[in-house]
């Protein structure tokens, strides 16, 4: 059975950066180096778009960052 995503758990990139007190670029670096995993920490709403839109799981990203 596929996992369902509760929209309340996932927030926009700018909101995630504000929550962590870091830059959007820093989030993207963590994603690019594999520190934040696709499907667990982030997902893309429109992968084929010229400028993809990402959503981030606040609690899981905070755990990786040592915040919660």
What pTM does this model have?
0.86
Sheet holding 42-44, edge to edge: 10-12, 54-57, 42-44
- Nearest CA to 28 out of 5, 51, 59 is that of 51
- 2-11, 16-25, 38-47: which has the minimum mean pLDDT? 2-11
The full DSSP string for 5-66 is: P-GGGEEEHHHHHHHHTS-HHHHHHHHHTTSS-BTTTEEES-TTSSS--EEEEHHHHHHHHT
Q: Where are the domains of the chain?
A: 9-65
pLDDT digits (tens, 9 = 90+) for 28-54: 999 999 999 999 999 999 989 999 999
pLDDT above 80 for 59: yes
Classify domain 9-65 at the CATH topology level: Multidrug-efflux Transporter Regulator; Chain: A; Domain 2 (1.10.1660)
pLDDT of residue 1: 46
């Amino acid at each position: 059975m596929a996992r369902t995503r509760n929209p309340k758990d996932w927030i926009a990139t700018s909101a995630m950066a504000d929550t962590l007190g870091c830059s959007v670029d820093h989030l993207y670096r963590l994603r690019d180096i594999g520190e934040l995993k696709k499907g667990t920490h982030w997902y893309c709403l429109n992968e084929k778009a010229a400028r993809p839109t990402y959503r981030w799981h606040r609690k899981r990203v905070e755990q990786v960052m040592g915040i919660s």
